[in-house]
Each structure stands twice: as structure tokens, then as C-alpha cells.
Structure 1
Amino acid sequence: MDNLTHSLAGAVLGQMGLKRKTGLAMPTLIIAANIPDIDAVAVLLGGHQHLALRRGITHGPIAMLILPLLLWAIMVWFDRWQTRRGKRPEKRLPLHKGWLLALAYIGTLSHPALDWLNSYGIRFLEPFSSQWFYGDTIFIIDIWIWAALIAGVWFSLRRERKGYGKWQRPAWISFTAICAYIFANGLITGHAEAVAYERLQASDYTSAKRPALLVVANPVPIAFWQREILWRDRINFGQEDYSLLTDFRINRKVDYINYPNDMAKHAAKLDEDMRAYLFWSRMPYARVLPKGKNTEVVMRDQRFSNPLAEDRFTATTLVPDE
């Protein structure tokens, strides 16, 4: 998910009452909720190298053990440093090291839990396994989750500042509503994939001779009741529309997939950037075109075939003709 969502998730956890457990609870929760994204420095590498590095080692089990400990140590040091300089706020609660460490773990673990929900992918087991996991439940930026998180934090803070009792209640309502929303979206995705798989199997688009059918119900912005149905077998691929409000029909022409093929595989061997792209890609397809004395290989991913996103997720390389 985006970092605003992660930050607001940390803030909601604090407003649910956790911020009263120890000093520095709220900053610890918010920073912890974002800390696995330290791998964002990989974008400095240029090209598509960052795709192969993001959501990997800093989101895996070793990081989940070490990152909260590092954050906890920094926060303890910061509290002591402020105390020595006489700048520790008088209203700050005493530091409870046990609770502070627990909150560092809670905030950090919330990050991969949210990242898993979308179709971008996450490698939960890195470095022990580089397998990608996909929740296909929530779009990577979900305005409905934003709205629920902002409302929960704002109303909770407002009640707290006015001295009302049970100021944690709005945050708890927000948390509960978001959990229900995620669960409902999971059911929508499961139903969309089941219906699409059944109808694709029965259609002329796929063949019993090509049983390896992959169907992905890709979440879309804003319209949580809709999904892009992305599908492929070993030869063909296509995209359909699904909505809870209408019946699902297969009504788009089939494209002919140009991947995997020998030229695309050869391009990956020659180009490190292409290898990184293919490592990240879940549903790759290629266009192979002659270009002078070379062959141009253009690789894309079905998940990001929308014209607004495809330029950011396109890998191109030239393969010399032999």
C-alpha cells in the first residue's frame, strides 16, 4: 500500500489506546508502519532493478525480527538523549521498554499485512524463498480506506482533546470497518475469479489441450465492486470486466501471447534490467519487432497494461541479430 495508508494505520492503532501504553508510542507506531519501505532507496539504481529489490528482504522474516529492535533502540536512545539535554517534554509518558518494543513489532508487522492485499506482490519469505505472494484484494491506493482511517483518527483525537470519555471508540470503529471492508473485498475477488475461471474453461478462448489457465481478479481504483479479469493459458491471454452489479461475460477478442519465446528468453540473458523485470513480473508478455539490424523486445505485465501505468512498467531491450 502507499505510505499515507501505512502512516494512518499506525496512527489508528495509537488512537485505539496503544499510545497510552508508553512514551513515544505514537511516533514508534507510525515509523514502524513505514520502516520496511527503506528498500525504496533501490529506485536510485534506475531502470527496473528496483522492481526486483522492492518488497523483498526488508519485508521478510529476518527484517520483521530485526527492524523493530533497531527502531526500539533508536527510540530508547532518543528519549535518553532528550532527557540529558533537558528537552524531554514534561507531558510525555514514562518510557516502558517492554511496551515500546511490542508497539515497534505491531507497527512493523502491519506493513507486510497491508502490502499483501494488492496485486503488486510481496516476498514474505525472503531471503529463504523468493516466491511472490499476491492478495488481489485491495487496489494499491484505496480512497475508501483513506477515508475510514482519516475519520477514525480525526474523530478520536477530537474527542480526546475535548476530554470526552471513550475517545478510542472512533478509532476502533474505523479499524473494525476496514477489516470488514477487506474481508468483503476478498470475497468479491474470490467470486470473480471462480466465475471467470468456470466460464473461460467453457469458452472457445481456451482449450482443454492447454489446461494451465491462470485467472487474476485485479482490483481497480475507487470501484471496489469491480475487477479486471486478467487471464492466460500457455498460448492466449486476455482481459475482461467483472462487476457485482452486472453479469460477467467474455466479450473481448483474444490477443496472441508472444511470451515465453526464445527471443524474449535470450533478451533476459543479455540484459540485466530485463532479468530484473521478469523476476518481478507475474503476467509478462512481449512484443518482438525488427529494428534495423537488431530485434527489439518490449516486455510488459498484464496487471499494468493500463495506458496510465504501462510506461512505468515496460522493459525494452535490443537484441543483435546473429
Structure 2
Amino acid sequence: MDNLTHSLVGAVLGQAGLKKKTGLAMPALIIGANLPDVDAACFFWLEGTEHLGFRRGITHGPPALVILPLILAALLWGFDRWQEKRGKRPEGRRPVHFGWLYGLSFIGALSHPLFDWLNVYGIRFFEPFSSQWFYGDTLFIIDVWLWAMLIVSVWWSLRAEKKGGNWTKPAWVGIAAALAYIAMNWAITQYVDILAKSNEPYGSQVIVSPVPVYFWERERIIQMYDGEWISNEWNGADFDYGFKHSQAVQCVIPDLSDDRLLNSQLDAFLFWSRAPFAERAEDGSVILRDARFYDPRARDRFSIALPDVKCEELTAE
């Protein structure tokens, strides 16, 4: 999910009562909920599509979820000591307990891969022990309705706290609402998955992908038996039979053992891709894309060009 969602998850956990455990609890929860995304720094040293195969891996796996919160807890504890020595430690801050700082940093960090799993991009839960990708297919990567629930509950909780009321209750209401919303979206995905597999056209693989804003709708992405990928949308009642990917001239995926294709960009793309397909470029060469992220307005972000490979068009079986 996006970093605003992760931050709000950390904030609502703090307002549910966890921030009473130690001083600097809220920074531990909020920063901790974003910690695994330190892998975004890979953009400084990786080029092209290489980042696709690196993200949501090593920094989201078990070793990182133990080590990164420990580093964060140490930094926060050191910051508290530094402020105290300079005489700038806020009087209202609770005593800082290193054990609780680590525990809350860990809780925040643990929430991150769980929420990342909810969309179609995927996550490698067990890296470096296993590089298997897992997909929840439940929420779009940016969910404005989840934002609204979490923002309102955190605001409501802070307002009640300021007035001296029961400030943990609004946070718990927000957590319950968010969990119910996630469960409802998971159920919608499962229902559409059953419909997608029982309605024509039939294919060898079906992916049910959430769409932005309209949480009750889904995109059905189907791999046909000849290798072609097509997609259409379920609007909450019926499938729209205008197929998106059939508008592109798709090609046979080239022989990847060809020495011309051995490069880190291609390896990273194929390692990450869940629904790879080859499309004909204007010059007749091949562009590899992923059907989950096929968007004519932003095609280059999730694609790799193979200029030395000529498109061999798919033929219906």
C-alpha cells in the first residue's frame, strides 16, 4: 500500500492505546509501519526495471522485520537521551522504555507486509529464505475509502483526547471498520473470481484485480490458451465485454534462452511479472509488459523493450 496508509495504520494503533506504553511510542509505530519501504532507496543504484525485482523483498522478510525495528528503537532511545542531555526533553513525554520501543517498532513494521499483501503487486513474505510471491488481490494500492476511515478515526480519537474523554474508543471503532472493509473487499474478490472462472471466455489463468475508487468493481484479467492476455471489468453486476488487451497486437513471448536477451533488466522483469505478455512496438519489435499494469497512459513504467526481437504475432488455437 501507499505510505500514507501505512502511516495511518501506525497512528491508529497508537491512538488505540499503545502510545501509553512508552515515550516516543507514536514515532515508533508510524515510522515502524513504513520501515520496510527503505528498499525504495534502490532507485539510486538500480536502473530501468531492475527495481521491480528488488522491491517488496529482502526488507519485507523475517530478518529485516527483526533488525529494522531494533535499529529504529535504538535511534529513538538515543534521541531521547540526547534531548535530555541538552535539557530539551519535553516535560510531558512519558519515560522511554527501550523494550517497549522495540516492541512497538516491531508491531508497526509487521503491519507493513500484511497491508502490502492486499494488492496485486505482490510481496515476498519469506525473503531471503524463499523468493515466492504472494498476492492478496483485495485492495487497490491506494484506497481512498481506507484513508477516510483511518483519518476520521485518528482525528476523532485526538479530539476526544484533547477534551479528556475516552480517546481509545474512536481508534478501535476505526480499526474495526477498516478490518470489516478489508474483509468485504476480500469477499468481493473471491466472488468475482468464481464468476470469472465460470463465465466465458475461459482461460488458463485468471487474476481478479481491484480498481481505484470503485471498490465494488474488479478487473478480470485472463490468459487465453494461446498465451494472449485479455481483460474486462466487473461493475458489481455484470462483466463489461469490451476486452482491453485485445486492442494491442500481442506477440509470441520470445525464446528467452537467446543470448541477445540475457541481461539483468529482463531477469528482474520476469522475476517480478505475474502476467507477462509481449506487445508489438511501432517498429515491429517486441515490448514485454505485465497485464496487471497495462495502461496506455503510463506504459513505460512496467515494461521492457526488446528492440532486437521481431514480433511474431499470436495465432488462435
TM (norm. structure 2) is 0.90
Report whether the alignment pairs 1:231 with 2:231.
no
Counterpart-to-counterpart distance in 1, 2:188 and 2:143:
16
Find the counterpart in structure 1 of residue 49 from structure 2. Answer: 48
Give, in angstroms, the shift of residue 290 of structure 1.
Answer: 8.7
Between the aligned partners of 1:198 and 1:268, the Cα distance in structure 2 is: 41
Measure, in 2, the Cα distance between the counterparts of 1:320 and 1:239: 26
Q: Does the 8 Å contact 1:269/1:275 carry over to 2? A: no
Task: Find out whether 1:319 has 2:302 as its counterpart.
Answer: no
Alpha-carbon contact 1:138-1:219 (below 8 Å) kept: yes
Which residue identity lines up with residue 216 of structure 1 in the other structure?
A: I
Task: Please list the CA deviations of residues 83-124 of structure 1 after superposition, one character each: whole Å capped at 9, or x if unmatched.
Answer: 122111110001122222210110000000110000011111
Which residue of structure 1 aligns with residue 313 of structure 2? none
Displacement of 1:10: 0.6
- Counterpart of 1:195 in structure 2 is 195
Letter in 2 for 1:301: D
- Structure 1 residues 176, 267: closer, same or farther in 2, change over 3 A? farther
Deviation of 1:57 after TM superposition, in Å, equals 0.1
How many residues end up aligned between the 2 structures? 306
Q: Which residue of 1 aligns with 2:288?
A: 299
Pair 191,215 (structure 1): closer, same or farther in 2 beyond 3 Å: same
Look up the SS of the partner of 2:141 in the other structure.
coil
Query: Please, which runs of 5 or more residues in structure 2 have no aligned partner?
Result: 311-317
> Are 1:267 and 1:274, in contact at CA under 8 Å, matched by a contact in 2?
no
**Residue 267 of structure 2: aligned partner:** 275
Q: How many percent identity over aligned positions?
A: 52
Does 1:29 pair with 2:21? no
Q: State the Cα distance separating 1:257 from its structure 2 match.
A: 5.0
Residues 140 and 225 of structure 1, relative CA distance in 2, 3 Å threshold: same
Please report how far the alpha carbon of residue 310 of structure 1 lies from its aligned counterpart in structure 2 after TM superposition: 2.5
Change (3 A) 1:254 1:172: closer
Task: Read off the aligned partner of 1:109 and give its amino acid letter.
Answer: L
Q: How does 1:115-130 map to 2 (within 5 A)?
A: 115-130=116-131
Q: When the two structures are superposed, what TM-score results if normalisation uses the length of structure 1?
A: 0.89
Residue among 191, 211, 236 paired with 1:220: 211
How many Å apart are 1:198 and its aligned residue? Answer: 1.5
**Structure 1 residue 249 displacement after superposition:** 6.2
| Aligned twin of 2:314 | none
1:126-151 deviations in Å (ceiling 9; x for gaps): 11111111100000000001101110
Q: Is the 8 A contact 1:119 1:136 kept in 2?
A: yes
Matches of 2:36 and 2:152 in 1, distance apart?
Answer: 25
CA distance in 2, matches of 1:111, 1:254: 32
Is the partner of 1:129 in helix, strand or coil?
Answer: coil
Larger RCO (CA under 8 A, 6+ residues apart): 2
Q: Does residue 140 of the first structure (1) align with residue 132 of the second (2)?
A: no
Uncovered stretches (5+) of structure 1, i.e. residues with no partner: 207-212
- CA drift at 1:223: 0.3
Secondary structure at 1:230 match in 2: strand
Q: What secondary structure sits across from 1:229 in the alignment?
A: strand
